[in-house]
Structure 1
Amino acid sequence: MLLPVLLVLSAAPVVGSSPGVLTPPLIGSPSDAALRFANSRATELGVANGSKLSVERTLSTRLGPVVYLQQTIDGLPVWGARVIVSFDDQQRVVRTSSTAKSFTAARTAALISAPEALVIAAKEIDGAWLQTSGQPFGGASKRAFFIDGELHAGWLTFVPTLKNSESWHVAVDATNGSVLWVRNLAWSSNAAKAYASSPGGNNGGVGVTPTIDVELTHLDGGFLRGDRIRAFNCCPTANCQPDAGPMRATGQSQTFGGEIINFDVAICAQVQRATNDPSLHASGDYVYAPVDPPNTPRPSINNPADYDEFAEVHAYYHVNKAYDAVRALSSGPVAQANTVPLFSMRDTAAGGDLPAVWVNVSDSDLNSAMPNMQGVYVSDTLSRTENAMYLARENMEYLLLPPQVLASDALVIYQGAKADFAYDGPVLWHEFGHGVIHSTSDWATIVTFDAYSANNESSALNESMADVIAIMTGNDPIVGVYVGQRMEPVQDAIRNAENQEKCPDVLWGQQHQDSQHFTGAVWEARKQFLGSDDGATYDAAVYAALVQFPMNVNFASAGDLIIDSVVRAFPNVSDAQAKMEAVFTARGVKNCSKALDITNSLSVNRTYFGIPGSAFAEVNSGVSIPGPFQFKIQLPRGAKSVTLHAQGFGGGGGGGSRLELLAALDRRVTFTKNASALTNDATWRVVPTSAQGVITGKLDVDAPCGSAIYLAIANTSQRDRELYEVGFEYEEADGECPVVDAGVELDAGVNPVLLDAADVSLGDKAEGCNCSTVSPFGAFALVAFALRRRRSRR
């Protein structure tokens, strides 16, 4: 299967101008002023002749309005092509950025229809849901995509599956029917009572931590459908009737291999249960008793925790709380004077609806589905999932969905085996944070390259900024105390911004883990800018930076935008720039060495090491793509060989692998990217062997006494590679060495820390806040590392 997603860009974003006052005050509305300004500098911003800019959206911030301009060609929006114009409070342009596409030709005539594109897309999705006619359910919308220097008409399609945790979107070239990329847009949380945040950790819980009286707002009345969001429950039986069977889904499913399977499986019924209608709820309000955890291994009508109204009310309240918090951050005098609206979730357009909050979710138990006499795969049970996620639904012109599949953006909140994710307010705030990102800057999912590494920093930033929105909503650095202490492996919380994480030792090549040093930097800096409003001005500055993130944002450019916004927000703090730079540099958000010294920790393996493949990275097939950092070993007695050992699939077949171990002496291996070509200057290289999940690579070297060797594990496959329990050992060089001083100073940005060792492998990577599939190495779920706070490092 092709992997996500857009165009690989360099580590530095395409920024048209440096921050600073670039114009005098511009007349007219912010959108008109931004469009005039950008059109006057179209060449500088990379807007090619034949294409145009149109106003996509104007956003309000405390510092001034921000305008998104969409590049179009023959009326088609160009995917990933946006110019951002930022104003100050006098409507002077203070920053621009552009990911507009320059192109040699435009082929905008679609040779295939939307239904035809959907058929092509469905073949890429394992478990695509088909109608009985064989035509896939789903939707499609026409776009222009950048392909080999040209713009091609294409279809952005949505392909539903039976899994509530999936939101597959596939881009199809409408000129020839080829698949461009596949992306799962899932990011893995009136009078009423709710928990102020959550029921708390093991010292608290349902029945221990008291609820508080709250007022539900933005309601239309009757059920939890408001003017901004709507809430649903999920019943194990039809309409939660005790004598009814489960709702069922029937139809066909298409596997990735093309096999068509007929199915008839149980699904949970999507209903609204919580109500203040006295004819349905005697108290005439939204007060319900919390019920958690469940007492049955599978969702059941005999278990009230699987469909309790409290979860529905609690989620509705806390998502609205985060919504109000973000709207407050977006408030600014100039924006309001120009009638620029405050933040709102995006319009899902044709076929859509208000964003949904769906609680007590369970999935069809597909693992137990067995074929009947007619060959139809039947399952009568539901399964639990330990997860909460935000699902994005792109706007579609052509849309045909099965009843259970939401046509809008949605927070999908599961009832876990030991904890209901809807009871954990910060988890809900985090998932709503993904919605904020998707409704504003919505940057691309890409691989960031620098001279020494390649990593999916864009997804890590999505997780980090969702955490930032959660901690700003609650003014608390801790996310997920309630669920974190009630799921495996047990942890104090899902994540904690009060950390000491730094690059490169924080990096694993996994988005949740890799987010933590950035979140930590934002929180650490916040404590220096609390001011007289307990951080509200700082938070508004961070939001103003967030909505300016360009499509190709990475750690360093995101850090620069936040630093610039905070400096602008605190003009009376003379050393604001120095304070912010110090924090973000010390964390390695900026100027990270991307070389981790493991000399003193050779006995401890790295738990996980993820490396992008050429399909995701959009480089030529077969090139050597590095991981998120390189390894450094000091060699006081020299070395004649270095051996890599790891677990994972090498992907080569016949005992080989699609990996490469590269090395250089007393310097990092340098990678040079030119368009889709990628080369390196390694001195030594070897292809490791792979047998029964064990990867070994012995590299013969000639390292003299007192030298240091730098090692890069590279991926030569189209597919991403995931290695586990990664370690090195070396053979000392023959002969004697003079006595040398062992006190060698580490590279800037390096702060090696021993990681918790894991004796089993992780699940295969899956999108979402906290989910996995099971790998052949064992059932050590992604949550075991993706959201883990390493307690030894507090």
Structure 2
Amino acid sequence: MMTRTFVSLLALGACLLIAGPALAQTIPAGQRARVETLAQAPAARVLRDEAGRVRRAWGLGIPAAGVDATSRAREFLGRFGHELAMPADARLVPLSVHEAHGFTVVRFARHAHGGPVLGGTVVVRLRGERVDYVAAHRVAAPEARSPDARATRSIDEATAARLALAETQLERVLEAEAAALEQDGLLYPVWRVDVAGAHLHQRERVILSGDGALLARHPLSLDALGRVFPRDPTSDEDMTSDVELGFLTSRERLTGRYFRVESCNAGTRGCEPTQLATADAAGDFLFDPVEPAFDDAFAEVHTYHHANRAAAYFRDTHDFTWTCGGDSLMRVFVNYTEGPDVPYDNAAYSPSSGSDCGFMLFGQGASHDFSYDSDVVYHEFTHGIVDGIAGLGFFLVDALGVSYDPGAVNEGTADYFAATLSGDPFMAEYFMGASASGEGALRRLDNDLVCPDDLAGESHFDGRIWAGFGWEVREILGAEKTDALIFTTVASLEMIPSLAELAEVTMATADAMQAAGTLDADDRAVIQASLEGRGLVGCERVAPLDGGFTRIGFSGNGSLTSSAGGSIAPVHYRIDVPADATRLVITIESATFGEPDFLLHTRVGAPVRFVPSRTPPVVANGSLDPDARGRVVLTRETETPLARCETLYIAVVTENLRTVNAALYRIQATLEQSGLDESCEDPPTEEDASAPVVDAGVSADGGVTSPSGGGCGCRASGASPLPLGALGLFVTFLAFRRRRPR
């Protein structure tokens, strides 16, 4: 199966609220006869893929006819859909229409074989009656037809549901839906099945082929924060204020127009929701904090207040209200635990699926209650907002393997809006026991992190770069402009963006806001400088390993990276090898519990390439097994020789990833040099020769362009390793996740 098969899986994490089949419409073929091109727009900026297809264009200002935003978007696509390479019979289903900050964003999903194409998204943004921006992803492939055996479904919905339950060992089906998946340049029918278990956090998505073969599975819940180490409370923990609780629709319980807050009251079968907080004779909910406790009424009151504060901000500032099936009431569970008196050190937002609407849950940890920290409440609610405006996925697959960039965009956005609501750049000071200055906070947005130096491959860590960009710009332009920029950018994204694509859309949004008069030229320059300074423009997951720095990396999710990405860690590495290099020692060791078994693939002159049709599924010059000390040694005489005057690329594979589930690792390179005056222009000797580079081209399905240039000099990196506090937290989180019952 070609790489395109696995690239298509990148949409699995997207949770779409798909309109019914009756809304599907075929774009009239007659509208495609006109010969206008997007590039003819006076201020147009057009980005194309390797096949010449438009994947994103902005600065268009093209008038579109219609009675509303959706019809105008359709009319525009009818004229220019051929540039996006949409087949003439492509069916588009409207997903959402949102107006804010002077723009209207219309999102469509492409449908084929009776359901949505996984990842097939078209985004059209209008200003008034003119289209200023369009982006398309995975809309070009035609439907596969008979006699291809894969072009039909040989199992029905009930069988798909049964197979998904058997695969996950969960208990009930939330939704089973026909869908389509691109494989080898054609769209084939598949089944997408969402299933759930007894515990609220046990929700997974399973993708099955038309004949029932498992293609992929992954969790639906968005875990926002890792496990907390026991810390002393902050100095103002017991300081409370009496505030007005708005939007209540019940006189006795915490049920309102936008939220219903309940406690878990866990039994042997999991969470049994009940509302503990009841109004007193005066109609007030005045409870003192009790922590740790599994029956804490204060947690309900505190969460209700801060959830409503976040919801009011998004309504008032961005004109967006979270809804599910037309209902704006979200359920919130506090004092959450998996069993009686069993702490749950986490918090999560779980998106809507089928008839089950999205919800938030906040664990009662071993020593701290996650709902007590307003940053956590704001962060989780923002996940719900992002789900509503963009339906972002969790991962994508490209020529480097599985990437968690879409999750990083989601996590960074949630951190940014939590910080803008709190008014400071520190995340989760309370339950981390941080100081008032933010020292010891879980994450800080006043950072100087950059791509690729500070990439780890894990979404929370990598999201700090995007969140840091937002806070940096906010400090200069102010909250009003920056909040609008971040919100409109995210609303304009395709479902599975990379960090590089995020930067493109951010600049497209800045251009549109400047044209609308919301930003000026100086504002735009600030945004561009910050994006470039943080390496988000053209960001690739290949981090420098020069200079002796120790990098922290993430192995990837056990079931996902192992099945869809050849167990290759999300971040690759590169070392520029100078002419006088004599010895290179690469050391890798586990930074988590368990015993991950690492293997290093190397390639000279281009990144190691993921090709699923190969065995093993990589294009590389060599595969190196670290010794008992976790070391790989390369010299000019070793079987895989040290290639002087070249760039050496390294990919990390965790061979037992399914067993260890997930791991962090430390990797470092030490280069020894002779100090002799050796020239890169010297003809290579036999011992310098490396294995031939195979298949070094760029794939048309999202391949990675090889960075140019060799390496006659060491390229120093100014990156610093991940904070030890964050590392320790995530290590504990991984161990905790492995102990969860499935």
Q: Retained in 2: the 8 A contact 1:613–1:715?
A: no
**Which secondary structure state, in structure 1, belongs to the residue aligned with residue 384 of structure 2?**
helix
The residue number in structure 2 matching 1:767 is: none
The residue number in structure 1 matching 2:289 is: 290
The residue number in structure 2 matching 1:608 is: 553
Q: Distance in 1 between matches of 2:728 and 2:365?
A: 22
Match of 2:523 among 533, 554, 576: 576
**Which secondary structure state, in structure 1, belongs to the residue aligned with residue 159 of structure 2?**
helix
The residue number in structure 2 matching 1:243 is: none
- 1:161 matched to 2:197? The reply is yes
Q: Distance in 2 between matches of 1:16 and 1:60?
A: 23
Name the count of aligned residue pairs.
646
Q: Distance in 1 between matches of 2:395 and 2:380?
A: 21
Shift in CA distance, 328/775, structure 1 to aligned 2, threshold 3 Å:
closer
Deviations 1:605-664 (CA, angstroms, capped at 9, x unpaired): 43434358996498786xx956414143665852245343323899999xxx67333153
**Which secondary structure state, in structure 1, belongs to the residue aligned with residue 273 of structure 2?**
strand
Aligned-residue offset at 1:481: 0.9
- 1:419 matched to 2:368? The reply is yes
Match of 2:330 among 355, 377, 382: 355
Deviations 1:448-476 (CA, angstroms, capped at 9, x unpaired): 547x7863211111111111221232332
Q: Distance in 2 between matches of 1:593 and 1:80?
A: 21
What does 1:651-670 align with in structure 2 at a 5 Å threshold? 659-664=599-604, 669-670=606-607
Where do 5+ consecutive residues of structure 2 fail to align? Answer: 12-46, 225-230, 680-710
Q: Retained in 2: the 8 A contact 1:22–1:95?
A: no
AA at the equivalent of 1:330: H
Q: Retained in 2: the 8 A contact 1:663–1:712?
A: yes
Q: Retained in 2: the 8 A contact 1:433–1:465?
A: yes
Match of 2:651 among 713, 717, 730: 713
Q: Retained in 2: the 8 A contact 1:445–1:458?
A: yes
AA at the equivalent of 1:356: R
What does 1:388-787 align with in structure 2 at a 5 Å threshold? 388-395=347-354, 407-447=356-396, 449=398, 455-485=403-433, 492-530=440-478, 535-570=479-514, 571=517, 573-592=520-539, 596-601=543-548, 605-610=550-555, 616=561, 625=568, 627-632=570-575, 637-647=580-590, 659-664=599-604, 669-671=606-608, 685-689=622-626, 695-701=630-636, 710-715=648-653, 722=663, 724-730=665-671, 732=673, 737-738=676-677, 746=715, 750-755=717-722, 771-773=733-735
The residue number in structure 2 matching 1:317 is: 305
Q: Retained in 1: the 8 A contact 2:164–2:193?
A: yes
Q: Distance in 2 between matches of 1:225 and 1:12?
A: 50
- 1:383 matched to 2:383? The reply is no
Q: Which moved more, 1:216-225 or 1:496-505?
A: 216-225
Shift in CA distance, 48/500, structure 1 to aligned 2, threshold 3 Å:
same
Match of 2:136 among 97, 103, 107: 97
Q: Distance in 1 between matches of 2:7 and 2:562?
A: 8
The residue number in structure 2 matching 1:225 is: 255
**Which secondary structure state, in structure 2, belongs to the residue aligned with residue 124 of structure 1?**
helix
Shift in CA distance, 316/506, structure 1 to aligned 2, threshold 3 Å:
same
**Which secondary structure state, in structure 1, belongs to the residue aligned with residue 176 of structure 2?**
strand
Q: CA RMSD in A?
A: 4.2
Q: Distance in 2 between matches of 1:759 and 1:81?
A: 35
What does 1:40-51 align with in structure 2 at a 5 Å threshold? 40-51=79-90
Match of 1:171 among 201, 204, 207: 207
Shift in CA distance, 214/162, structure 1 to aligned 2, threshold 3 Å:
same
Deviations 1:153-198 (CA, angstroms, capped at 9, x unpaired): 443222222343332121223x311122212011117xxxxxxxxx
TM-score, normalisation: structure 2: 0.76
Deviations 1:489-509 (CA, angstroms, capped at 9, x unpaired): x96212111111112231111
Q: Retained in 1: the 8 A contact 2:218–2:560?
A: no
Q: Distance in 1 between matches of 2:152 and 2:617?
A: 37
**Which secondary structure state, in structure 2, belongs to the residue aligned with residue 275 of structure 1?**
coil
The residue number in structure 1 matching 2:42 is: none
Aligned-residue offset at 1:418: 1.9
Aligned-residue offset at 1:353: 8.9
**Which secondary structure state, in structure 1, belongs to the residue aligned with residue 449 of structure 2?**
coil
Aligned-residue offset at 1:707: 5.3
The residue number in structure 1 matching 2:115 is: 76
Aligned-residue offset at 1:435: 0.8
Q: Retained in 2: the 8 A contact 1:360–1:413?
A: yes
Shift in CA distance, 145/719, structure 1 to aligned 2, threshold 3 Å:
farther
Sequence identity (%): 21
**Which secondary structure state, in structure 2, belongs to the residue aligned with residue 575 of structure 1?**
helix
Where do 5+ consecutive residues of structure 1 fail to align? Answer: 130-135, 190-199, 237-246, 250-266, 295-304, 332-342, 365-380, 397-406, 765-769, 782-794
AA at the equivalent of 1:601: G
The residue number in structure 1 matching 2:28 is: none
Aligned-residue offset at 1:439: 1.4
Deviations 1:66-87 (CA, angstroms, capped at 9, x unpaired): 1011212365232321211100
Shift in CA distance, 438/12, structure 1 to aligned 2, threshold 3 Å:
farther
AA at the equivalent of 1:204: S
The residue number in structure 2 matching 1:56 is: 95
Q: Distance in 2 between matches of 1:345 and 1:4?
A: 32
AA at the equivalent of 2:347: A
Shift in CA distance, 772/353, structure 1 to aligned 2, threshold 3 Å:
farther
Aligned-residue offset at 1:289: 1.9
Shift in CA distance, 101/139, structure 1 to aligned 2, threshold 3 Å:
same
Aligned-residue offset at 1:704: 8.9
Shift in CA distance, 718/547, structure 1 to aligned 2, threshold 3 Å:
farther
Deviations 1:30-78 (CA, angstroms, capped at 9, x unpaired): 0111122223333333333443112221111213111011212365232
Q: Distance in 2 between matches of 1:493 and 1:393?
A: 31
Aligned-residue offset at 1:586: 0.8
The residue number in structure 2 matching 1:206 is: 237
Match of 1:248 among 258, 264, 268: 268
Q: Distance in 2 between matches of 1:671 and 1:437?
A: 33
The residue number in structure 1 matching 2:170 is: 128
Match of 1:345 among 319, 322, 334: 322
AA at the equivalent of 2:382: G
Shift in CA distance, 461/53, structure 1 to aligned 2, threshold 3 Å:
same
The residue number in structure 2 matching 1:18 is: 57
Higher strand fraction (1 or 2): 1
AA at the equivalent of 2:555: G
**Which secondary structure state, in structure 2, belongs to the residue aligned with residue 122 of structure 1?**
helix
AA at the equivalent of 2:676: C
Higher helix fraction (1 or 2): 2
**Which secondary structure state, in structure 1, belongs to the residue aligned with residue 116 of structure 2?**
strand
Q: Distance in 2 between matches of 1:268 and 1:716?
A: 35
Q: Retained in 2: the 8 A contact 1:508–1:609?
A: yes
Q: Retained in 2: the 8 A contact 1:658–1:687?
A: no
**Which secondary structure state, in structure 2, belongs to the residue aligned with residue 520 of structure 1?**
helix
Q: Distance in 2 between matches of 1:528 and 1:762?
A: 32
Q: Distance in 2 between matches of 1:739 and 1:146?
A: 50
Q: Distance in 1 between matches of 2:521 and 2:389?
A: 31
